């Protein structure tokens, strides 16, 4: 769910004082740090429920910007792309990366210093090594049977 930057007026430090369900659409979008991690394909063990992230990225993810290449029409191209809302976070929290701002606020955790809302620039996400910049492989290059060869921990490989 890597979103393009939208910067309509945001309430000061809204992420510290406005409940998720009371944020404006712009505030909600601004929470996304643009790491691109939720655009990585995951493997899920049907028995244990364990989830492993892979370096194999959605075909629409830009490996350099870590943004979706077709965000506005992504569901026409990738119907399974998730829609994050205050109501759906609980359903997705088990596989979202620990760094994800939506997951963190939902768990009552603060945003980290490298988050663009605090640092003032998206570059800090890359500098902190949180984003997927430069280390993904596109899913159209890797046979799905081989995805397990690309499993990563919750961090760069
Ligand atoms: S379509 Fe793919 S790249 Fe775009 S937001 Fe969804 S998972 Fe990410
Ligand atoms: S993991 Fe969370 S913060 Fe990172 S791109 Fe996805 S929705 Fe945004």
Instruction: Please state the domain extents for the chain.
Output: 14-152
Nearest CA to ligand 1 atom 7: 39
Nearest CA to ligand 1 atom 4: 68
Closest C-alpha to 117, from 34, 24, 1, 23: 34
Query: Over the stretch 23-38, which tens digit does the pLDDT of each residue have?
Result: 999 999 999 999 999 9
Closest ligand to 117 CA? 2
Map residue 102 onto helix, strand or coil: helix
Ligand 1 atom closest to the CA of 75, numbered from 1:
1
Query: Over the stretch 31-84, which tens digit does the pLDDT of each residue have?
Result: 999 999 999 999 998 888 889 999 999 999 999 999 999 999 999 999 999 999
**What is this structure's pTM?**
0.90
Using the mean position of ligand 1's atoms as its centre, give its distance from the Cα of residue 69 in Å: 8
Closest ligand to 136 CA? 1
Does an H or E element contain 31, and which?
Answer: helix 25-31
């Amino acid at each position: 769910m890597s979103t393009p930057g939208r910067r309509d007026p945001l309430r000061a430090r809204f992420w510290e004082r406005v409940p998720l369900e009371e944020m404006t659409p712009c505030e909600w979008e601004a929470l996304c740090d643009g790491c691109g991690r939720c655009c990585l394909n995951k493997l899920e063990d049907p028995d244990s429920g364990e989830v492993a992230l892979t370096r194999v990225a959605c075909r629409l993810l830009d490996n350099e910007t870590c943004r979706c290449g077709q965000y506005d029409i992504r569901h026409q191209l990738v119907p399974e792309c998730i829609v994050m809302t205050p109501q759906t976070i609980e359903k997705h929290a088990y596989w979202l990366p620990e760094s994800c701002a939506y997951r963190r606020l939902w768990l009552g955790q603060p945003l980290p210093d490298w988050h663009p809302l605090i640092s003032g620039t998206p570059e800090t996400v890359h500098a902190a090594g949180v984003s997927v910049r430069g280390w993904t492989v596109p899913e159209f290059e890797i046979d799905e049977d081989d995805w397990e060869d690309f499993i990563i921990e919750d961090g760069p490989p």
